[in-house]
Amino acid sequence: MNIAYSYTVEPQPEGGYLVQFVDLEEAFTEGETLEQAAFLAAEVLTGVLALRLERGEDVPPPSPAEGRPVAVPDAPVQAALLVRFAQQGKPLSELARAMGTSWPAAQRLTRPGNPTLKQLERAAAALGKRLVLALE
C-alpha cells in the first residue's frame, strides 16, 4: 500500500497557492510558490495524521489521486499507518499474540514512533504481509 494523500491546489487572488487535502478536511496550508506549497503539504499531512494516530482517531485510507498532486507523510507516520491499515479491523490483542509480544508493544506500532525494522518485519509477518522498503 502506498501512503500518499492527494490534494487540490488553488491559486489565490492575493498570490500564492492554497492546498486542501481531499481525505482530510482539517489538513490545509498555503505556499507562495507551487514548490513551497508541496513542501508544506507534506509537513501538514504528517502533523494531522500523527495527531489523529496519537488520539486514537480514525484515519481514512488515501483515495486515488486521479491526476491530483500527492503528499507523503514522514516515515514514522507511514509505518504506523501501514500497520494500522493492515490490521483491517482486527483487535490489537490479536496482533500482539501473533507477534508474541505485549499489547502495549503492539499498540506502539500503531502510533508514530521509531519502530525497528525487526519490529516492522514481525508485525508484517503476523498480519500475513511482507515488509518492503523503497526509496523514491
The predicted model gives 109-131 an average pLDDT of 88
- Domain for residue 49, yes or no? yes
Range of the domain at 105: 75-126
Residue 51's nearest CA partner among 69, 29, 24 is 24
Same domain, 61 and 79: no
Same domain, 33 and 86: no
- Measure CA of the first residue to CA of the last residue in the chain; give whole Å: 14
User: In which band, very low, low, confident or very high, does the pLDDT at 90 lie, cut at 50, 70 and 90?
Assistant: confident
Residue 109's nearest CA partner among 127, 131, 128, 83 is 83
Same domain, 82 and 65: no
Alpha-carbon distance of 12 to 87, in angstroms, equals: 41
- Main-chain phi, psi angles of 4, to 5 degrees: -135, 115
Residue-wise pLDDT for 42-86, tens only, equals: 999 999 999 999 998 999 999 999 999 999 999 999 999 999 888
What dihedral angle (degrees, nearest 10) is formed by the CA atoms of 32, 34, 36, 42? 130
